[in-house]
Each structure stands twice: as C-alpha cells, then as structure tokens.
Amino acid sequence: MTYQPPGPYPPEPTPGSGPGSTGGNGYHYDPTGPGAPYGNGGTQPDPYAAPGGAPGSYGGGPYSAPGGQPGPYGTDPYGSPGPYGAQSDPYEAQPPAGPPPGFPSTDQAAYGGPAPSPGSGNGTVIAVIAVVAVLLLGGGGIAAYYLTNDDDSSASPSAAGAQSDSDGNGSEDTDLSDETVEDDPILNATAGDCFTNNGSETSPDLVEATCGTGTFSVLEVRNGTDGSVCEGNPEFDYYASYPSDDVLLCLTYDYGGDAYHAQVDDCVYGASSGDDWNKTDCQTGAFRVLERFDGQTDESACTQGTYYNYYMTFSVSEPYLSRLLCMSFIYPDDAGYATKDNCLNMTGDPSSASFEFVDCDNANVYVTGRTNEFNAQSFCGNHGWTTWESYDFDDMAYTVCWAYT
C-alpha cells in the first residue's frame, strides 16, 4: 500500500513524534486545538495471492443394494416323513436296532424317527452342500453360499451410499455423493467462513482457509447466479456462483485494515509507521475519501481539485482487487487548501482568525504565498500569516501568507 500527497509537495519527512497538531501566528494565531492522532504509512507489501476452490456440481444420492433372496435349498428335503413312515408293518412300533452301515443314524425321519422341525435342519444340509461345493468351487464359494442361504440370517438393504455390483457377486461399490455434499465447504458455507481463491476473477477456484489477510470471507449465501444481489453490502468485493447447486457466495476481501472498503465521504486514518489503515470519524487530521477507483492504482485517475491533496493505493496481484482512494487531508479551515492569489474571508481577530473560500468580490484577504513548512514567519515578510502542522504528517504542514484586499 502506498500513500503520498500528489503534485509538487516535497518528499515525506520523518514522521512526527506524537498525535495532535499545533497552530502558530505571526500576524495572527490559528487557535485550532489538537488534532486527532493520524499518520501516514509506508508502502504496503504486495498483496497476497489467493488460492481457492472450483465451482462444481454435486449430485447423486444414496443407493440401496437389493435385498437377499431365499436360497434354492430353502426347503429341507428331509423335512417330511421317510418313505416307510406310511406303510403297515407289524413291527413298525419297534425301531430297527440300527441302520445298515453307511446310512444315516436312527434319529432321522427315514427310519421312523421324528421329522426335524421347520428351520432346524438346515445346518446339516448346508454342511453337506458345502462339502460338495468345496470340491467344485473352493473355500471362497463356501463362505458366499453359506452367508446367502443360511435361513437363520435374513437379507437387509445395504447402507446408504453403497450400491451393489452389476455382476451380482455380492461385493459392493461405494457411492460417496452424499458424503461429498455433507462435507463440501462451499455447499455448506455460512456467513463468516473464509476461502482463498486459486482461480481468477472469471473462474473462481475457492478453497476453505483460515480467516486472515489475503482471504475472502463470506458475507451471505444466496441462490441463483446474479451477483448484483450482493451489491447492497458496502463490504462486497466478489462473488462466486455454482449454478448446478443453486449456490451463490457474496464475498469480501481482507486486505488488512478496513480502509480498503472505505466509500466516498468515509474518513480513514493510518499510522505513518504502519500498514493497516482503518475507517475513523471525520475530524481534523483524518483523510476524507473523495473518489474511489476499483481495479486500478494509477493516481492520475484522481480528479485534480481544491480539496484533493492525498491518495492511497492498495495493490493486489489479481488486478480486479486493487484499489485507489483519492482523498483530502482535513485541515482546520480553508487556509490549509489555499494557494497564492486565492481569495478568503477571514473572521475573528487576526491572532485567532479562521478562513474560508469566497468570491474575490466578497473577500477581505487574499493569499500572497504558501510553504509546506510549519511556523515559517520569515517566509511571509511583512504580511500576515497563519500556520499549522500535524505531528504525524509533517508533509501536510503549512504556513500561509495573506494580505488585506
């Protein structure tokens, strides 16, 4: 950040020793009281390049994997009486002493024993099938088949965000769209969140960041793509829209010190040894903003006028964020802005007079000379004089010489 008086003023001297101002007199005394502690500043370091995050669309929703299907062997082939259970046999009341070698044990229904209750005999069936399957498919097939066909476990939908494979092999692909939306800092942004911009003015690439100098802070979150909805906020500098998600972020840039956001007729102050300038009350010793230009730092854009005597630039690597303030240092009265041959109306005793610009026909004094030195009585010779200085801005001191009309 740079700041200096325009035109023929001499280079800025060493800053004063403290706040306030003093007035002096030769022919008359300027009685203005101490001014506010305002100061000049050095050159602001070049701005902070801002990284950020790209607009994007976020979609998709959770999927549920298909539910389980009953296995092909859900009905127990041994769940009904054996082939001999209905025959008339004189010995049917007496169970055989035992099965022939290699046949099932006597507690099975095929030999007159009680039939297994529904659902209680599947473990045996699965075990038998598993023995066959291991010969054909190997161990991996056994585990998959067992989990699919065990009647003691029921199929349930997969968790939200998961989707079954199209090949039906039981594995699942993860769909993270819901988690992406939930965790996305842009779609979930609120006022006060901060980002850096790694893109450009027309193609933002915002990335979540810790708030501080060089970052953008969210002023408000709106819908649509029309950035003009943000313009009512005087802190607004930039917007980023995400049409596919109907999200628009109104953003303010943190340059360091809120003088960066000063509007016309606001007043600002900055210490001569500091980088941060801030808005303040308008009073003697402060700077009033006359014009503001966004996107440039060329002081020649400032309108040359009676009260224009200072400018301040805010340089940022992205030119659209750079800024120029054309300002007026606030003097005790119009004598501070007067140049040779200007006409003034002096009111009060010459030792405590005040001055204002008037048409020469209505003036009672005119300016015979001016220097940017304080208390330069000898400069004025035999003419009247008024003088003033700021403790913080030595280059804004003056001695103005005057004579009666």
pLDDT reported for residue 178: 53
Q: Which of 11-15, 55-59, 150-154, 311-315 has the highest mean pLDDT?
A: 311-315
- The answer to whether position 150 is within a domain reads yes
pLDDT reported for residue 351: 86
Picking from 230, 253, 276, the residue at the C-terminal end of a domain is: 253
Picking from 220, 253, 286, the residue at the C-terminal end of a domain is: 253
pLDDT, average across residues 373-389: 96
Residues 149 and 203 in one domain: no
- The answer to whether position 202 is within a domain reads yes
The parent domain of residue 203 ranges over 184-253
- The answer to whether position 91 is within a domain reads yes
- The answer to whether position 129 is within a domain reads yes
Residues 194 and 122 in one domain: no
- The answer to whether position 9 is within a domain reads no
pLDDT reported for residue 183: 83
Which is more confident, 72 or 180?
A: 180
> Does residue 231 have a pLDDT over 70?
yes
- The answer to whether position 134 is within a domain reads yes
Which is more confident, 90 or 213?
A: 213
Q: In the chain, what percentage of residues exceed pLDDT 90?
A: 52
Q: Which of 84-93, 97-106, 124-133, 206-215 has the highest mean pLDDT?
A: 206-215
pLDDT reported for residue 74: 43
pLDDT reported for residue 359: 97
pLDDT reported for residue 138: 42
Instruction: Give me the amino acid identity at 34.
Output: P
Per-residue confidence band for 38, with pLDDT thresholds at 50, 70 and 90: very low
Of the candidates 15, 28, 16, the residue with the CA atom closest to the CA atom of residue 353: 28
- Pairwise CA distance, residues 334 & 339, whole Å: 10
Residues 74 and 145 in one domain: yes
> Does residue 374 have a pLDDT over 70?
yes
- The answer to whether position 140 is within a domain reads yes
> By the 8 A CB rule, do 382 and 359 touch?
no
71, two tokens: 């296995």
Given CA atoms 242, 243, 245, 250 in this order, what sign does their dihedral have? positive
pLDDT reported for residue 182: 67
Which is more confident, 386 or 12?
A: 386
Q: What is the 3-state secondary structure (H, E, C) of the chain?
A: CEEECCCCCCCCCCCCCCCCEEEEECCCECCCCCCCCCECCCCCCCCCCCCCCCCCCCCCCCCCCCCCCCCCCCCCCCCCCCCCCCCCCCCCCCCCCCCCCCCCCCCCHHHCCCCCCCCCCHHHHHHHHHHHHHHHCCHHHHHHHHHHHCCCCCCCCCCCCEEECCCCCCCEEECCHHHHHHHCCCCCCCCCCEEEECCCCCCCCEEECCCCCCCEEEEEEECCCCHHHHCCCCCCCEEEEEHHHCEEEEEEECCCCHHHHCCCCCEEEECCCCCCEEEECCCCCCEEEEEEEECCCCHHHCCCCCCCCEEEEECCCCHHHCEEEEEEECCCCHHHHCCCCCEEEEECCHHHCEEEECCHHHCCEEEEEEECCCCCHHHHCCCEEEEEEECCCHHHCEEEEEEEC
- Pairwise CA distance, residues 234 & 109, whole Å: 90
Of the candidates 117, 116, 141, the residue with the CA atom closest to the CA atom of residue 131: 141
Question: pLDDT tens, 285-343?
Answer: 999 999 999 999 999 999 999 999 999 999 999 999 999 999 999 999 999 999 999 99
pLDDT, average across residues 9-38: 41
Per-residue confidence band for 165, with pLDDT thresholds at 50, 70 and 90: very low
Residues 79 and 128 in one domain: yes
pLDDT reported for residue 271: 77
> Does residue 67 have a pLDDT over 90?
no
Domain count of the chain? Answer: 2
Residues 82 and 150 in one domain: yes
pLDDT reported for residue 276: 80
Picking from 253, 288, 303, the residue at the C-terminal end of a domain is: 253
> Does residue 58 have a pLDDT over 80?
no
Per-residue confidence band for 185, with pLDDT thresholds at 50, 70 and 90: very high
pLDDT, average across residues 130-158: 36
- The answer to whether position 224 is within a domain reads yes
